[in-house]
A = this chain, B = another copy of it.
Protein backbone atom coordinates (compact mmCIF):
# COMPACT_ATOMS: atom_id res chain seq x y z
CA UNK A 1 0.00 0.00 0.00
CA UNK A 2 1.32 3.42 -0.96
CA UNK A 3 2.09 6.08 1.59
CA UNK A 4 0.50 9.44 0.75
CA UNK A 5 1.60 13.00 1.43
CA UNK A 6 0.61 16.48 0.30
CA UNK A 7 3.13 19.16 -0.66
CA UNK A 8 2.19 22.83 -0.99
CA UNK A 9 4.24 25.64 -2.51
CA UNK A 10 3.06 29.14 -1.53
CA UNK A 11 4.38 31.51 -4.14
CA UNK A 12 3.71 35.21 -4.55
CA UNK A 13 1.97 34.45 -7.85
CA UNK A 14 0.66 30.89 -7.52
CA UNK A 15 -0.33 28.37 -4.90
CA UNK A 16 0.63 24.88 -6.05
CA UNK A 17 -0.28 21.60 -4.36
CA UNK A 18 0.35 17.97 -5.11
CA UNK A 19 -0.73 14.59 -3.75
CA UNK A 20 2.50 12.62 -3.72
CA UNK A 21 3.51 9.07 -2.83
CA UNK A 22 6.64 8.09 -0.90
CA UNK A 23 8.56 7.59 -4.14
CA UNK A 24 7.92 11.17 -5.24
CA UNK A 25 5.27 10.39 -7.85
CA UNK A 26 2.69 13.17 -8.13
CA UNK A 27 -0.77 11.56 -8.33
CA UNK A 28 -2.77 14.77 -8.68
CA UNK A 29 -1.95 18.45 -8.67
CA UNK A 30 -3.48 21.88 -8.36
CA UNK A 31 -2.31 25.38 -9.27
CA UNK A 32 -4.22 28.58 -8.62
CA UNK A 33 -3.43 32.30 -8.63
CA UNK A 34 -2.61 33.53 -5.15
CA UNK A 35 -5.60 35.52 -3.88
CA UNK A 36 -5.33 39.14 -2.81
CA UNK A 37 -4.34 39.08 0.86
CA UNK A 38 -7.34 40.85 2.35
CA UNK A 39 -7.36 38.86 5.59
CA UNK A 40 -5.51 36.12 7.44
CA UNK A 41 -8.28 33.67 6.54
CA UNK A 42 -8.47 34.11 2.74
CA UNK A 43 -5.09 32.50 1.97
CA UNK A 44 -5.75 29.78 4.55
CA UNK A 45 -9.02 28.91 2.84
CA UNK A 46 -7.25 28.86 -0.52
CA UNK A 47 -4.57 26.47 0.80
CA UNK A 48 -7.18 24.19 2.35
CA UNK A 49 -9.23 24.21 -0.87
CA UNK A 50 -6.15 23.33 -2.91
CA UNK A 51 -5.14 20.52 -0.55
CA UNK A 52 -8.70 19.17 -0.51
CA UNK A 53 -8.85 19.21 -4.30
CA UNK A 54 -5.68 17.15 -4.83
CA UNK A 55 -6.61 14.67 -2.10
CA UNK A 56 -10.11 14.13 -3.53
CA UNK A 57 -8.87 13.92 -7.12
CA UNK A 58 -6.36 11.33 -6.02
CA UNK A 59 -9.18 9.27 -4.52
CA UNK A 60 -7.43 8.98 -1.19
CA UNK A 61 -9.26 9.47 2.14
CA UNK A 62 -7.83 12.27 4.29
CA UNK A 63 -7.20 9.71 7.02
CA UNK A 64 -4.60 8.08 4.74
CA UNK A 65 -2.56 11.28 4.33
CA UNK A 66 0.51 10.88 6.52
CA UNK A 67 1.54 14.51 6.52
CA UNK A 68 1.43 17.87 4.77
CA UNK A 69 4.49 19.96 3.97
CA UNK A 70 4.27 23.65 3.07
CA UNK A 71 6.94 25.87 1.60
CA UNK A 72 6.43 29.54 2.36
CA UNK A 73 8.40 32.73 1.98
CA UNK A 74 10.12 33.54 5.26
CA UNK A 75 11.20 34.45 7.77
CA UNK A 76 9.52 31.60 9.56
CA UNK A 77 10.13 29.16 12.37
CA UNK A 78 9.86 25.58 11.16
CA UNK A 79 10.15 24.27 14.70
CA UNK A 80 7.17 26.31 15.87
CA UNK A 81 5.32 26.02 12.56
CA UNK A 82 4.95 29.78 12.44
CA UNK A 83 5.27 32.42 9.75
CA UNK A 84 7.14 35.19 11.56
CA UNK A 85 6.70 37.87 8.94
CA UNK A 86 5.48 37.69 5.37
CA UNK A 87 5.94 40.80 3.25
CA UNK A 88 3.10 39.97 0.93
CA UNK A 89 0.86 38.54 3.68
CA UNK A 90 0.39 41.41 6.11
CA UNK A 91 -2.13 39.44 8.15
CA UNK A 92 0.29 36.60 8.78
CA UNK A 93 2.75 38.15 11.22
CA UNK A 94 3.65 35.52 13.81
CA UNK A 95 0.98 33.27 12.28
CA UNK A 96 0.81 29.59 13.38
CA UNK A 97 0.22 28.27 9.85
CA UNK A 98 1.06 24.62 10.58
CA UNK A 99 -1.37 24.42 13.51
CA UNK A 100 -4.12 26.25 11.59
CA UNK A 101 -3.91 23.89 8.60
CA UNK A 102 -3.76 20.85 10.86
CA UNK A 103 -6.89 22.01 12.63
CA UNK A 104 -8.74 22.46 9.33
CA UNK A 105 -7.84 19.16 7.68
CA UNK A 106 -6.80 16.92 10.57
CA UNK A 107 -3.35 16.06 9.20
CA UNK A 108 0.06 16.84 10.76
CA UNK A 109 1.51 19.82 8.91
CA UNK A 110 5.10 21.14 8.70
CA UNK A 111 6.49 24.30 7.15
CA UNK A 112 9.87 25.40 5.83
CA UNK A 113 11.34 28.20 3.74
CA UNK A 114 10.13 27.91 0.12
CA UNK A 115 13.57 28.24 -1.50
CA UNK A 116 14.99 25.58 0.82
CA UNK A 117 12.22 23.18 -0.23
CA UNK A 118 12.70 24.10 -3.90
CA UNK A 119 16.34 23.03 -3.53
CA UNK A 120 15.35 19.90 -1.65
CA UNK A 121 12.86 18.91 -4.36
CA UNK A 122 15.44 19.46 -7.12
CA UNK A 123 17.87 17.36 -5.11
CA UNK A 124 15.36 14.53 -4.55
CA UNK A 125 13.92 14.25 -8.05
CA UNK A 126 15.51 16.93 -10.24
CA UNK A 127 18.89 18.37 -11.14
CA UNK A 128 20.60 17.32 -7.90
CA UNK A 129 19.76 13.63 -7.82
CA UNK A 130 22.48 11.40 -6.42
CA UNK A 131 24.67 14.28 -5.21
CA UNK A 132 25.50 14.76 -1.56
CA UNK A 133 26.26 18.45 -1.99
CA UNK A 134 23.94 20.55 -4.11
CA UNK A 135 22.62 24.10 -4.27
CA UNK A 136 19.60 25.67 -5.95
CA UNK A 137 18.65 29.27 -6.60
CA UNK A 138 15.27 30.82 -7.36
CA UNK A 139 15.97 33.79 -9.58
CA UNK A 140 12.93 36.04 -9.80
CA UNK A 141 11.86 39.37 -8.34
CA UNK A 142 14.25 38.47 -5.52
CA UNK A 143 16.85 35.72 -5.15
CA UNK A 144 16.32 32.74 -2.87
CA UNK A 145 18.61 29.81 -2.24
CA UNK A 146 18.65 26.36 -0.70
CA UNK A 147 21.43 23.88 0.05
CA UNK A 148 21.79 20.18 0.53
CA UNK A 149 25.02 19.45 2.43
CA UNK A 150 26.19 15.90 3.01
CA UNK A 151 22.78 14.64 1.89
CA UNK A 152 20.83 16.79 4.37
CA UNK A 153 18.77 19.91 3.85
CA UNK A 154 20.64 22.84 5.37
CA UNK A 155 18.28 24.88 7.54
CA UNK A 156 20.50 26.48 10.18
CA UNK A 157 19.69 27.08 13.81
CA UNK A 158 16.57 29.14 13.11
CA UNK A 159 15.69 28.35 9.48
CA UNK A 160 17.47 31.32 7.93
CA UNK A 161 20.15 29.45 5.98
CA UNK A 162 21.01 29.84 2.30
CA UNK A 163 19.99 33.47 1.88
CA UNK A 164 22.30 33.89 -1.11
CA UNK A 165 20.28 36.91 -2.27
CA UNK A 166 21.46 38.68 0.86
CA UNK A 167 25.14 37.91 0.66
CA UNK A 168 27.22 40.90 -0.31
CA UNK A 169 29.59 41.05 -3.28
CA UNK A 170 30.50 44.71 -2.69
CA UNK A 171 30.68 46.06 0.83
CA UNK A 172 30.55 49.62 -0.54
CA UNK A 173 27.64 48.83 -2.86
CA UNK A 174 24.05 50.10 -2.73
CA UNK A 175 22.18 49.82 0.57
CA UNK A 176 19.90 46.78 0.85
CA UNK A 177 16.86 46.63 3.16
CA UNK A 178 18.45 43.65 4.95
CA UNK A 179 21.23 45.73 6.51
CA UNK A 180 24.06 44.85 4.14
CA UNK A 181 25.34 46.78 1.17
CA UNK A 182 25.89 45.31 -2.27
CA UNK A 183 23.68 42.23 -1.83
CA UNK A 184 23.53 39.89 -4.80
CA UNK A 185 19.79 40.55 -5.12
CA UNK A 186 20.54 44.20 -5.98
CA UNK A 187 22.34 43.11 -9.14
CA UNK A 188 21.15 39.75 -10.40
CA UNK A 189 17.42 39.49 -9.62
CA UNK A 190 14.83 40.84 -12.05
CA UNK A 191 14.59 43.90 -9.80
CA UNK A 192 18.38 44.21 -9.76
CA UNK A 193 18.60 43.97 -13.55
CA UNK A 194 16.06 46.79 -13.87
CA UNK A 195 17.86 48.87 -11.23
CA UNK A 196 21.23 48.54 -12.99
CA UNK A 197 19.67 49.29 -16.37
CA UNK A 198 17.94 52.44 -15.13
CA UNK A 199 21.17 53.52 -13.49
CA UNK A 200 23.13 53.02 -16.72
CA UNK A 201 20.47 54.81 -18.80
CA UNK A 202 21.12 58.02 -16.87
CA UNK A 203 24.28 58.25 -18.97
CA UNK A 204 22.93 59.78 -22.19
CA UNK A 205 25.80 58.45 -24.31
CA UNK A 206 24.07 55.08 -24.20
CA UNK A 207 22.56 54.15 -27.55
CA UNK A 208 19.85 51.57 -27.17
CA UNK A 209 16.26 50.76 -27.97
CA UNK A 210 15.76 51.24 -24.24
CA UNK A 211 16.59 54.96 -24.45
CA UNK A 212 12.85 55.69 -24.41
CA UNK A 213 12.84 54.63 -20.73
CA UNK A 214 15.47 57.20 -19.78
CA UNK A 215 13.92 59.32 -17.05
CA UNK A 216 11.01 56.88 -16.69
CA UNK A 217 12.47 54.19 -14.44
CA UNK A 218 9.08 53.03 -13.19
CA UNK A 219 8.05 52.03 -16.72
CA UNK A 220 10.94 49.65 -17.31
CA UNK A 221 10.76 45.96 -16.39
CA UNK A 222 12.87 42.85 -16.90
CA UNK A 223 10.65 41.54 -19.69
CA UNK A 224 11.29 44.68 -21.75
CA UNK A 225 15.06 44.34 -21.21
CA UNK A 226 14.87 40.65 -22.15
CA UNK A 227 13.04 41.40 -25.38
CA UNK A 228 15.54 44.09 -26.30
CA UNK A 229 18.40 41.67 -25.63
CA UNK A 230 16.66 39.00 -27.74
CA UNK A 231 16.42 41.55 -30.54
CA UNK A 232 20.17 42.09 -30.43
CA UNK A 233 20.29 45.35 -28.47
CA UNK A 234 23.91 45.50 -27.29
CA UNK A 235 23.16 47.62 -24.25
CA UNK A 236 20.42 45.26 -23.05
CA UNK A 237 22.73 42.30 -23.64
CA UNK A 238 25.47 43.99 -21.62
CA UNK A 239 23.04 44.49 -18.73
CA UNK A 240 22.16 40.78 -18.78
CA UNK A 241 25.85 39.96 -18.99
CA UNK A 242 26.55 42.01 -15.87
CA UNK A 243 23.60 40.50 -13.96
CA UNK A 244 24.70 36.99 -14.96
CA UNK A 245 28.40 37.53 -14.26
CA UNK A 246 27.70 38.96 -10.82
CA UNK A 247 25.32 36.06 -10.18
CA UNK A 248 28.28 33.82 -11.01
CA UNK A 249 30.42 35.68 -8.45
CA UNK A 250 27.72 35.14 -5.83
CA UNK A 251 27.77 31.47 -6.82
CA UNK A 252 31.57 31.32 -6.37
CA UNK A 253 31.13 32.69 -2.84
CA UNK A 254 28.44 30.07 -2.17
CA UNK A 255 30.72 27.39 -3.60
CA UNK A 256 33.69 28.43 -1.47
CA UNK A 257 31.48 28.13 1.61
CA UNK A 258 29.54 25.00 0.67
CA UNK A 259 31.62 23.11 -1.90
CA UNK A 260 28.65 21.70 -3.84
CA UNK A 261 28.99 19.65 -6.98
CA UNK A 262 26.16 21.30 -8.89
CA UNK A 263 23.98 24.38 -8.69
CA UNK A 264 20.57 24.59 -10.36
CA UNK A 265 18.81 27.85 -11.16
CA UNK A 266 15.04 28.23 -11.45
CA UNK A 267 12.62 31.15 -11.30
CA UNK A 268 11.38 33.62 -13.90
CA UNK A 269 14.70 35.19 -14.80
CA UNK A 270 16.31 31.76 -15.33
CA UNK A 271 14.10 31.48 -18.40
CA UNK A 272 16.35 34.05 -20.04
CA UNK A 273 18.63 31.08 -20.71
CA UNK A 274 22.12 31.77 -22.01
CA UNK A 275 21.74 35.50 -21.41
CA UNK A 276 22.13 34.61 -17.72
CA UNK A 277 23.80 31.18 -17.75
CA UNK A 278 26.71 31.98 -20.08
CA UNK A 279 28.11 34.88 -18.02
CA UNK A 280 27.45 33.02 -14.76
CA UNK A 281 29.49 30.06 -16.03
CA UNK A 282 32.20 32.42 -17.23
CA UNK A 283 32.45 33.91 -13.75
CA UNK A 284 32.78 30.44 -12.20
CA UNK A 285 35.46 29.57 -14.71
CA UNK A 286 37.39 32.82 -14.19
CA UNK A 287 37.05 33.23 -10.43
CA UNK A 288 36.40 29.82 -8.85
CA UNK A 289 39.26 27.75 -7.45
CA UNK A 290 40.96 26.43 -10.58
CA UNK A 291 41.81 23.22 -8.70
CA UNK A 292 38.20 22.09 -8.97
CA UNK A 293 35.85 24.69 -10.51
CA UNK A 294 35.76 22.63 -13.71
CA UNK A 295 34.07 19.85 -11.72
CA UNK A 296 31.16 22.11 -10.76
CA UNK A 297 28.19 22.68 -13.06
CA UNK A 298 25.63 25.48 -13.28
CA UNK A 299 22.43 24.11 -14.81
CA UNK A 300 18.77 25.12 -15.20
CA UNK A 301 16.40 23.64 -12.64
CA UNK A 302 15.07 20.33 -14.00
CA UNK A 303 11.62 20.36 -12.37
CA UNK A 304 10.94 24.00 -11.51
CA UNK A 305 7.15 23.60 -11.34
CA UNK A 306 7.29 20.58 -9.03
CA UNK A 307 10.40 21.05 -6.93
CA UNK A 308 8.66 23.05 -4.20
CA UNK A 309 5.90 20.44 -3.82
CA UNK A 310 8.31 17.50 -3.81
CA UNK A 311 10.74 19.15 -1.41
CA UNK A 312 7.88 19.77 1.01
CA UNK A 313 6.89 16.09 0.85
CA UNK A 314 10.47 14.87 1.28
CA UNK A 315 10.77 17.02 4.41
CA UNK A 316 7.70 15.29 5.89
CA UNK A 317 9.06 11.85 4.99
CA UNK A 318 12.36 12.71 6.72
CA UNK A 319 10.50 13.61 9.89
CA UNK A 320 8.70 10.28 9.92
CA UNK A 321 11.92 8.30 9.71
CA UNK A 322 13.61 10.63 12.18
CA UNK A 323 16.26 11.48 9.62
Taking Cβ atoms with an 8 Å cutoff, the residues of A that contact B are: 75, 84-85, 131-133, 147, 149-150, 152, 154-164, 166-172, 178-182, 246, 249, 252-254, 256-261, 286-293, 295
Contact = CB atoms under 8 A, between A and B. Distances in A.
Nearest to A290: B179
Contacts of A261: 157
A179 B287 contact: yes
B171 A171 contact: no
A289 B256 contact: no
A307 to B, nearest CB: 20
Contacts of A150: 149, 152, 154-155
Q: Which 7 residue pairs of A and B lie closest in terms of their CB atoms, listed nearest first?
A: A156-B259, A161-B259, A133-B157, A157-B261, A163-B256, A160-B259, A167-B253
5 contacts: A131-B157, A149-B154, A152-B152, A166-B256, A166-B289
A115 to B, nearest CB: 13
Given A152-B150, A295-B158, A168 B257 contact: no
Given A160-B259, A259-B156, A295-B158, A168 B253 contact: yes
B257 A162 contact: yes
A157 B149 CA distance: 9
B257 A161 contact: yes
A258 B259 contact: no
A297 to B, nearest CB: 12
A178 B256 CA distance: 11
Nearest to A254: B257
A289 B176 CA distance: 11
B132 A157 contact: yes
A160 B75 contact: no
A164 B252 contact: no
A21 to B, nearest CB: 27
Nearest to A293: B179
Contacts of A166: 256, 289
A5 to B, nearest CB: 22
A260 B179 CA distance: 18
B159 A259 contact: yes
Given A168-B253, A180-B287, A252-B180, A259 B149 contact: no
A258 B154 CA distance: 8
A259 B112 CA distance: 14
B249 A171 contact: yes
A248 B261 CA distance: 28
Nearest to A257: B257
A288 B158 CA distance: 14
A149 B150 CA distance: 10
Contacts of A161: 149, 257-259
Contacts of A291: 75, 84-85, 160
Among A152, A249, A253, A260, max chain B CB count under 10 A is at A253
A158 B254 contact: no
